[in-house]
Structures are given as structure tokens and as C-alpha cells.
Amino acid sequence: MRVISGKVRGLKLNTPKNEDVRPTTDRVKESLFNMINPYMMESNILDLFAGTGSLGIECLSRGASKCTFVDVSRESIALVKSNIKKARFENESEVLNLDFKDAISKLKIKNNKFDVIFMDPPYYKDMFIDALEKIDNANILKEDGIIVVEHDTKDKFPEEIGSLEKSRDKKYGNTTLTFYKLK
């Protein structure tokens, strides 16, 4: 797993030793960033269910000003921190070792608003809709921001969740990226 573009292009990131964390493949990541590159410069990013932190680090490499990494797993947080240090993005990063619900509540209290929110929760855990509803209720997505959900292609998502509406789906074999924005 590597950083595809930007300041630390080509940097190899540390990867998990077990199968619990499922990093985004380079093919999916490259296609994703081709679609969302206009959102990158000086943006505020939330990498929810961060895993290795590769999506947030890719954003920072491409010019994002800040990324908040969230994961409940101590192992994942250790991996995220090691990758942030390796990429030298400590000053642009905030790392929260919290459940997604607690993290979203904390971010709401701090009045954080994000240009891009990545969600890549563990497959088959049915956290997607709950997380999208919490994001919507907390009002942490900027008016022109986007939410990117990476999920198994078998999972189906509603066209609308509260004030969020699905804007597109992009399939890559067994993986699908679903995009939401504010209505």
C-alpha cells in the first residue's frame, strides 16, 4: 500500500498484520481521488473508521490542510499514528481512538465541519446507515462537502438519509463507492 500522489507520493505505508483491517486497494483509491481531487486543496477531512489512515494521508499529501482520523481499534490507531509519523503529517492530523458515535458527538461539540468524510466501516456490521444518520444529525458536513462510503457491492443504500442525498455509485468488482451530499 502506497501514497499515490502529492507531497509524499510513492511512500509505502505500514499495513496490518491480520485480516481485520481491509485497506482500500490502489486501483479503487486512484479512481476515487480522480473523482474528488477538486475537494482536496486546503480542505478539512474526516477519515472515519480510519483503519490504516491511507485515505486521510492521501488527502494530506494532495494538499488538504487537516485530517481527523477516527477508529475504535487500538491496533488501527497505532497503525494510523505510525503512518502519519512516516509521512510527517503530525501537525496536520488529529487522531481519535473512539467509537464512531462518540467521535461524531465530540466533533459536533467542537463545531468541526468537513469538506470530505470517508466512511469505510467493517463490512457486514450494518454501521453504514447509523453513521450516515449521525453525521447528518450532527451537521458536520460542510454545505458543499461530500461523504464517500466504501462498501461491499451487495450492500444497497437509500437515495436519501435525512438531509443527505445519494449523488452517485461507482463499482469496482466487489467494492462500491457511494457518494452523498447535502440536498
Q: Which residue has the higher pLDDT, 49 or 20?
A: 49
User: Residue 10 falls within a domain, yes or no?
Assistant: no
Q: 149 near 156, Cβ under 8 Å?
A: no
Mind listing the pLDDT tens digit for each residue in 22-50?
667 777 888 899 899 888 899 999 999 99
Q: How many domains does the chain contain in total?
A: 1
* Residue 123 falls inside a structural domain: yes
Percent of the chain with pLDDT over 70: 95
Q: Is residue 6 part of a domain?
A: no
Q: Which CATH number covers residue 81?
A: 3.40.50.150
Edge-first strand order for the sheet with 114-119 is 93-96, 66-70, 44-48, 114-119, 141-152, 175-182, 164-172, 160-161
Q: What's the chain's average pLDDT?
A: 92
Q: Do residues 140 and 112 make contact, with C-beta atoms less than 8 angstroms apart? A: yes
Element (H, E) at 128: helix 128-138
Residue 80 domain-assigned? yes
Average pLDDT over residues 161-174: 94
Amino acid identity at 67:
C
Q: Is residue 65 part of a domain?
A: yes
pLDDT band at 20 (very low <50, low <70, confident <90, very high): low
pLDDT at 57: 97
What percent of the chain has a predicted confidence (pLDDT) above 90?
Answer: 74
| 20 is a domain residue | no
- Asked if residues 168 and 179 have their Cβ atoms less than 8 Å apart, the reply is yes
Q: Give the C-alpha separation, 40 to 44, whole Å.
A: 8
Question: For residue 106, is it within any domain?
Answer: yes
pLDDT in the model for residue 156: 86
- The pLDDT score that the predictor gives to residue 95 is 98
Any domain includes 165: yes
Q: Residue 3's pLDDT is what?
A: 92
Q: Which domain holds residue 87?
A: 26-182
Write the pLDDT tens digit of every residue in 95-107.
999 999 999 999 9
pLDDT for res 91? 97
Phi (first) and psi of residue 120, to 5 degrees: -140, 65
Q: What is the pLDDT of residue 19?
A: 58
Cell of 99: 467509537
Check residue 22 and give its pLDDT.
61
pLDDT digits (tens, 9 = 90+) for 116-164: 999 988 765 678 899 999 999 999 999 999 999 999 888 888 999 999 9
